Every structure is written in structure tokens, then in C-alpha cells.
Amino acid sequence: MERFVLGVDLFVETLWKVWTELLDVLGLDISNLSQYFSPASVANSPANSPACALLLLDIILLTYWFLSLTLGFTCSVLHLVFGRFWVVPVLLFSRSCVYILHKHEGERRHLAASMPRMARSRQLPLHWGWEEARDYDSKVFYIDHKARRTSWIDSPRQLLKPLSFADCVGDELLWGWVAGFDAQIGVYYINHINKTTQIEDPKKQWRGKQEKLLKDYLLVAQDALRTQKELYHVKQQRLALAVDD
């Protein structure tokens, strides 16, 4: 079953690469197709609206031709193998259901089993299509070749990071946080979510806030306990006076 899932993944990735290369040959950017059909672009250039409509029609026809060719070839091969046409859709439907169930359940089990080990080693592999690079300041950034964009955050791999400082192990940081180093100021921390930079260790700040909250809680609890003891002593004195009377 693992080989079947990997084979389907490889087949889908191959089709996607062929499709994107075909659109690149036609001069279309697959990652930014919305720019051709957005109302703003059409309003800014009304003369290009017929060209946009013709381009949309070409893409629909090209997609239909590509899918028909791919599915027709697949069904023809299955028909030659099994000899009966009704077996082909039943087999495709059953294998599709098995693929979807095994894909999601397998990824969930693999992720749950590998998260503690990967968090300890911090050797998390990049997802397919992602690349790690550095700028002129030696800051690490990531390139998503599928979407053709760059990001300070490796979104697929950052999802494995803890969402709370309480779950951080060792020097591990939260999702969206990155530690950097400067020759003059030393280690600093970047919060790409809030787009802020600070010298203070966010884990130490969080730990200090937690200690302050704990101290405040202990003070309130001690005051409440002292009040309960005073009430208990007053009740004991009243009980003693009532017994004497």
C-alpha cells in the first residue's frame, strides 16, 4: 500500500509539472493566474477584456484536453489489462478511496510518531519544493518554488513547532520566532508574525511573567489562608465562651 500511495503521488506530481511547463511555454504564470481575470485589471485596461476572455477560454479548453488525454490513456490501459470496461470505473473509484484514506491516516500517524523525535533532533526536513537560503546579512529565508515566492518562515516545517512556550524544549522557539546573531549585539530574536525584533529571550520573558503570576497567586492564597485561620480562631473563642457560660 505504501508503494501504491507513493506511485500515485509521483504520478500526480509529474502531471502537475507537465501542466505548469505547458503553461510556461504559452507564457502564463501559473502562480499568478488571477491577475489576468481580476476585476481591477479589467477595469484598468478595458481594451484587454476580450483578450482576457479569450485567454480564459483557451485555458479551459486546454485543461479539458489535458485531463481528457490523461484519463483516457489511463482508462485505455486499464481496459486492455482487465478486458472489461465496467471494471475500470469501479477499480478507479475503489483505489481512489483507498488512496485518500491511507494518505490522510498515514500522514497523521507518521506526523504524530515523528514529532517528538524530530523536535529533539531539530533536523526537520524541508517539504518538497522548498529551499533554504541566506541573504547578504546571513539571515535565513525560504524559497517556495511551487508558489514562486520567498518567506522568512518555513510554513510547512514551522507547523511542527510548539504553539506555547511551555512546550518548548531546550533552545526551541515558538512558531514564527527565529533567533539571529549580530557581531555587535549578539543573539537577537525575530517575531515574523508581529514583525518585531528584540534582544530579550522571549522564553525568559514568558518564564518571568509566569513566575510573577505564580507569586501573586501565592500571596493571594496566603492572605486567604490567613483570613480563614483568623476566622477559625474567632469561632473557637466564641465556642469556648459559650461552653463557659
Question: Which residue ranges make up each domain of the chain?
Answer: 1-29+58-114, 127-160
49-82 and 87-121 helices, crossing angle to 10° = 110
Q: Give CA 83 to chain center in angstroms.
A: 44
Q: Where does 127-160 sit in CATH, by number?
A: 2.20.70.10
Spatial neighbors of 148 by CB under 8 A, at least 6 apart, are: 29, 31
> Which segment, 2-6, 139-143, 162-166, is predicted with the most confidence on average?
139-143
Q: Tell me, what's the pLDDT at 115?
A: 47
Residue 212 has pLDDT above 80, yes or no: yes
149-151/186-191 β-pairing: unpaired
pLDDT tens-digit map of 186-196? 888 888 778 88
Residues 6+ apart with CB under 8 A from 130: 142, 143, 144, 145, 154, 156, 157
Which residue carries 505548469 as its cell?
A: 20
In angstroms, rounded to a whole number, what is the distance separating the alpha carbons of residues 40 and 43?
5
Residue pair 134/162 in contact by the 8 Å Cβ criterion = no
Residue 216 to residue 233: CA distance in whole angstroms: 26
Element spanning 61, H or E: helix 49-82
pLDDT at 121 over 50: no
Confidence of residue 202 (pLDDT cuts 50, 70, 90): confident
- What pLDDT does 117 receive? 40
pLDDT digits (tens, 9 = 90+) for 74-107: 767 766 766 655 555 666 566 666 666 665 555 5
Is pLDDT above 80 for 231?
yes
Q: What DSSP assignment string belongs to 32-45?
A: GTHHHH-HHHHHH-
120, pLDDT greater than 50: no
pLDDT at 29: 58
Q: Which three cell numbers stand for residue 232?
A: 477559625
Its pTM surpasses 0.95 = no
Give phi and psi for 166, each to the nearest 5: -65, -25
Matching residue, cell 525575530: 190
- Measured at the CA of 73, the angle between CA 67 and CA 77, to 5 degrees, comes to 145
Q: How many other CB atoms are found less than 10 A from the CB of residue 154?
A: 22
